[in-house]
Structure 1
Amino acid sequence: MDKKQVGPLSGYRILDLTVMTAGPVGTVLLADLGADVIKVEEPKAGDLSRNLGNQFVEGESVQFLSQNRNKRSIRLDLKSPKGRDAFLRMAEHADVVVENFRPGTVDRLGIDYEAVKARNPMIVYASVSAFGQTGPYAAWPANDPIVQAVAGLMDMTGEAGGNPVRLGAPLPDFGAAALLAFGISAALLHRERHGEGQRIDTSLLSAALFSTIPRDGETLRSGKAPERLGSGHPTMVPYRNYQGSDGRYFFAACFTEKFWQNLCRALGRKDLLSDERFVGNPARTANRHALDVILEQQFLLHTAEYWVAHLSAADVPCAIVQDYHTALTQDPQIAHNHAVVEIEHPLAGRVTNIASPVNFHGSPVAYRRAPPTLGQHTAEVLAEFGFAEEEIAALEGREPAAVGEKS
């Protein structure tokens, strides 16, 4: 096989019990890198995201299609003794088990780490949950915005004097997904070096808190929670959205003295450099409202597009605030990065996905499989794990195929 067709994780077999977003996105990162990710789904409805949202293509949920490429799907009733035993038998020949059920669920099903480890001591068993496997919140029903509320993210988001606001994208979910994939990869490397498997876990809460760095230091040192500042920044000024004469917004970020000086020169306002209210970032932060009044009036003289071109030429970090559809379909840098890919689905036709965010130049990511239909690969996968046709038929609730027939 061509070396470039072998992903960094080719040869690793992952049993994926995850549903919704954090778990499936974490395993799609691993699948993109070549791991054989086998999505073990509840027989009737499958992954909860298969029926989530209000956009479907030929009965397939857009949400599910967005986060399950490069995987194979099997139906398996883990609540039945037969399904549990089949799963444990598969786990004997797997490298990784991943689950994101509410803590305690895998124990009740009899497929917890200790049960799997008894059959396969080298297993890497990974869990991702909302709050962690133990603790006062562990059993709470929760998802991304619930975690945003607990972690303080929601409270620090929104306009000054306004209400707390949910983040526009499920960042705790995706932070947990990245940490999950990172943890599994590190655990596999540890196994290669030291010959032992292990259990690992992460949570949306851990990911959310980790994403707030360096707000943690500022908050604990000051003894105060961050204020809601809209698009502004608690410790850097100017650093926010501004409106041009055409009503469009652009973001300008002067996070060093050099950029502040470049901004003043580009505006023809060298007087601001000697204004004691604005000399040094601490002074600008203390006098942000006075500075913003000056800048807001200045920026209303020209369009947002003019200012982005003018300030960029002066080496000031800035960008038009564009909507998400424009970003995905018209932005030249996103197009150059091939950040949106198309995959042919057996029912939905050509579907778009966000590409893997890491480029491996020696062993590039391959989009080998469309997101699977429910149970699409059940017979194929079980046969690979050594199940006889009669056993596969029993697990699928059908009669065994006659000799020469395909199941």
Structure 2
Amino acid sequence: MADNPVQPLSGYRVLDLTVMTAGPLGTMMLGDMGAEVIKIEELSAGELSRSMGTVYIGAQSVNFLSQNRNKRSVRLDLKSDDGRQAFLRMAAAADVVTENFRPGTMDRLGIGYDAVRAVNPRIVFASISAFGQDGPYAHLPANDPIVQALSGVMEMTGHPDSGAARVGTPMPDFNAAALLAFSVAAALLHRERTGQGQRLDLSLLGATIFSTVPRDGETLVTGKAPPRLGSGHPSFCPYRNFVSQDGIVFFLACFTEKFWSSLCKALERSDLAADPRSATNVARCANRDFVDAELQREFGRCGIDELLALFARFNVPAARVQDLAYALRHDPQVAHNKTLIEIEHPTVGKFEMLAFPVNFHGSPAQYRRPAPRLGQHTLEVLQDFGFDSAEIDRLLSMRVVAGMDQD
């Protein structure tokens, strides 16, 4: 885990109060880009995801390990007066504060945006919530699938006869995480140009609805919600899963007329290219049962290797449907892209995790630290922020802060 000081966000300090997935993943991205991310955790159990999920390496939750690298952990009692003052003292010397408490919680603790801005007018203060900081839903509890349900994403996912289905990955969380990293970086650039800090209000609901582009435009124009089509697509045909002769599922995507023409040539089916029911994409979408049935008959005559070779030769987009375990371990392009990195943790040893997905050719992501142990860096961080030994000892004796428990 080499340390390269010349990274896009080197020198910026982030106080991270977020928990679960959206916030921690977003701040991990900031850490991968060089920011100094300090994870503020509650005294007893620490961040919620430390004890979530069913997969652990030793005593460490993989849920936590996978989204908290490049951070230092500080245990701090934010409900106490001394804890609040310690946080504000740190915030005065920080660049960014991120939090995803229920709206209003930070203000009740006395460490909301106005309190932080009073000690640091240049602060970038990013709040993530399910629905936004105000409005009719702001007070309601929610998480990723609740937002999938409200946003329309769940209703458009699944098969017509099976009902709505949750998307397999935490898409709202990831969308909000990516927007957090982007927005914080943009706000820091704005501050460099103007000297002004600001508050950022991100919601999982807003990030998820934004991710429906271009389904949003189609819905607004037609007044109709996208239908559930399984692996199919409301605006393109053929664009769905098919099955080869040897029973392998693959996805075929003819999203331009050029690809459709190439597919017809590959299958030697000029009749489909000329048939009024399938000559254009609009016609194919109106007659998708006919088109899909004709293609499935053709595909059922060939094994998957033959089909994929044929599609590649004629430049037709297609791919075997792989599970995640196979994709991560065996797909040659995934391996070529260096998607996995290996990190060594002081208690669990070496483990693999996903690399930062953007290749900065001049300032690549650096993996300086594994996910921290609870309170691992409390003392050194307080020293970094100017607390002297007597102050630290007093806070420790009062249980306002805590270091790392001994195993």
Q: TM-score range by the shorter chain?
A: over 0.9
Aligned partners of 1:60, 1:90: CA distance in 2, in Å?
28
Contact 2:132 2:202 in 1 (8 A): yes
Q: Secondary structure at the match of 1:347?
A: coil
Identity rate of aligned residues, in percent?
A: 61
Aligned partners of 2:11, 2:100: CA distance in 1, in Å?
23
Distance 1:3 1:321, change over 3 A: closer
For residues 2-17 of structure 1, the aligned pairs below 5 Å read 5-17=5-17
Aligned to 1:219: 219
CA drift of 1:160 comes to 2.0
Distance 1:394 1:247, change over 3 A: farther
Aligned to 1:347: 347
Aligned partners of 1:274, 1:5: CA distance in 2, in Å?
61
Q: Secondary structure at the match of 1:75?
A: strand
Q: Which amino acid in the other structure matches residue 264 of structure 1?
A: C
Aligned partners of 1:13, 1:28: CA distance in 2, in Å?
13
Aligned to 2:118: 118
Q: Secondary structure at the match of 2:115?
A: helix
Aligned partners of 1:24, 1:56: CA distance in 2, in Å?
18
Q: Secondary structure at the match of 2:14?
A: strand
Contact 1:5 1:366 in 2 (8 A): no
Aligned to 2:21: 21
Aligned partners of 2:340, 2:87: CA distance in 1, in Å?
35
List alignment gaps of at least 5 residues for structure 2.
400-407
For residues 95-114 of structure 1, the aligned pairs below 5 Å read 95-114=95-114
Q: Secondary structure at the match of 2:310?
A: helix
For residues 230-309 of structure 1, the aligned pairs below 5 Å read 230-309=230-309
Aligned partners of 1:116, 1:15: CA distance in 2, in Å?
11
Q: How many aligned residue pairs are there?
A: 398
Contact 2:3 2:366 in 1 (8 A): no
Q: Structure 1, residues 344-383: CA drift from partner, whole Å, max 9, x if none?
A: 0011111211110111111111101011000100000000
Distance 1:199 1:65, change over 3 A: same
Aligned partners of 1:37, 1:230: CA distance in 2, in Å?
41
Q: Structure 1, residues 156-202: CA drift from partner, whole Å, max 9, x if none?
A: 00012221000000011000000011110010000000011111111
Contact 1:180 1:201 in 2 (8 A): no
Q: Which amino acid in the other structure matches residue 78 of structure 1?
A: L
Aligned to 2:373: 373
Aligned partners of 1:354, 1:186: CA distance in 2, in Å?
24
Aligned partners of 2:4, 2:347: CA distance in 1, in Å?
30
1:314 and 2:314 aligned = yes
CA drift of 1:397 comes to 3.4
Aligned to 1:145: 145
Q: Structure 1, residues 266-304: CA drift from partner, whole Å, max 9, x if none?
A: 011111011010111100000001111111111111122
Aligned partners of 1:178, 1:13: CA distance in 2, in Å?
19
Q: Secondary structure at the match of 2:277?
A: helix
TM-score when scaled to structure 2? 0.96
1:176 and 2:172 aligned = no
CA drift of 1:248 comes to 1.2
Aligned partners of 1:30, 1:82: CA distance in 2, in Å?
29
Q: Secondary structure at the match of 2:162?
A: coil
Aligned partners of 1:395, 1:161: CA distance in 2, in Å?
60
Contact 2:4 2:366 in 1 (8 A): no
Aligned partners of 1:108, 1:131: CA distance in 2, in Å?
19
Aligned partners of 1:397, 1:269: CA distance in 2, in Å?
80
Aligned partners of 1:305, 1:29: CA distance in 2, in Å?
38
CA drift of 1:398 comes to 7.4
Q: Secondary structure at the match of 2:315?
A: coil
Q: Secondary structure at the match of 2:290?
A: helix
CA drift of 1:4 comes to 5.6
Q: Secondary structure at the match of 1:351?
A: strand
Q: Which amino acid in the other structure matches residue 111 of structure 1?
A: I
Q: Which amino acid in the other structure matches residue 148 of structure 2?
A: Q
Q: Secondary structure at the match of 1:37?
A: strand
Aligned to 1:47: 47
Aligned to 2:404: none
Aligned partners of 1:3, 1:83: CA distance in 2, in Å?
31
CA drift of 1:5 comes to 4.3
Aligned partners of 2:167, 2:396: CA distance in 1, in Å?
42
Distance 1:4 1:87, change over 3 A: closer
Contact 1:65 1:351 in 2 (8 A): no
Distance 1:176 1:368, change over 3 A: same
Q: Secondary structure at the match of 2:230?
A: coil
Q: Structure 1, residues 251-275: CA drift from partner, whole Å, max 9, x if none?
A: 1100000000000110111110110
Q: Which amino acid in the other structure matches residue 360 of structure 1?
A: F
Q: Which amino acid in the other structure matches residue 92 of structure 1?
A: A
Of 187-196 and 158-167, more deviation after overlay is shown by 158-167
Contact 1:116 1:123 in 2 (8 A): yes
TM-score when scaled to structure 1? 0.96
Aligned to 1:197: 197
Aligned to 1:82: 82
Q: Secondary structure at the match of 2:9?
A: coil
Contact 1:4 1:362 in 2 (8 A): no
Contact 1:257 1:280 in 2 (8 A): yes
Aligned partners of 2:79, 2:102: CA distance in 1, in Å?
15
1:134 and 2:134 aligned = yes
Q: Which amino acid in the other structure matches residue 178 of structure 1?
A: A
Q: Structure 1, residues 310-331: CA drift from partner, whole Å, max 9, x if none?
A: 1111100011000100001111
Aligned partners of 1:175, 1:54: CA distance in 2, in Å?
24
Of 302-311 and 115-124, more deviation after overlay is shown by 302-311
List alignment gaps of at least 5 residues for structure 1.
400-407
Aligned to 2:402: none
Aligned to 1:404: none
Q: Secondary structure at the match of 2:150?
A: helix
Contact 1:5 1:363 in 2 (8 A): no
